[in-house]
Amino acid sequence: MERKELYATQDEFNRRVVRYQDVPPIELAAGIKSHIVSAEKITVSFVTVEPNAQVPIHHHEAEQIMIIADGACDQIADGKLYHLETGDVFIVPSNSEHGTYVFEKGCQTIEVFSPPRQDFVAKLKAVRKGLEK
């Protein structure tokens, strides 16, 4: 296939491409770490949850889509349990009470938030500032 477009310069590439593994991980709660990437209107969180950890019940303004990338968990939403496995996508409406129980294998998720989670953005800035010292 012939391409008429030029490849981006390294500077152009660096302005648009983030390797999430290069973003410092942030501890969201005990046993829960995330690499956070945020833009003007969206936040993406690449989460690793240790075996048998629990995400406490919480809510936030942002709508959330949670993709189970690996492992399994029971998602708590509005007082009900939803068993999720690799490949499942769970939708959390704005301000909906939710949390997670993770099993022996642990779990990896990709979580998308809109509008951006400002608390996550603030945590990321604090971690980066600490690394600059």
pLDDT at 21: 94
Q: What is the pLDDT of residues 65-103, one digit of tens each?
A: 999 999 999 999 999 999 999 999 999 999 999 999 999
pLDDT at 123: 87
Query: Is residue 81 assigned to a domain?
Result: yes
Query: Is residue 57 assigned to a domain?
Result: yes
Query: Is residue 106 assigned to a domain?
Result: yes
Query: Is residue 92 assigned to a domain?
Result: yes
pLDDT at 133: 62
Query: Is residue 133 assigned to a domain?
Result: no
pLDDT at 127: 81
| CATH number, position 74 | 2.60.120.10
Q: Give me the mean pLDDT over the 4-13 stretch.
A: 96
Distance from C-alpha of 111 to C-alpha of 35, rounded to nearest angstrom? 10
Query: Is residue 66 assigned to a domain?
Result: yes
Q: Give me the mean pLDDT over the 23-41 stretch.
A: 94
How much is the pTM? 0.90
Query: Is residue 38 assigned to a domain?
Result: yes
Domain with 118, as residue range(s), is: 16-127
Neighbours of 72 (CB within 10 A): 17
| CB within 8 Å of 114: residues ≥ 6 apart | 41, 42, 43, 62, 63
Number of domains in the chain: 1
Query: Is residue 10 assigned to a domain?
Result: no
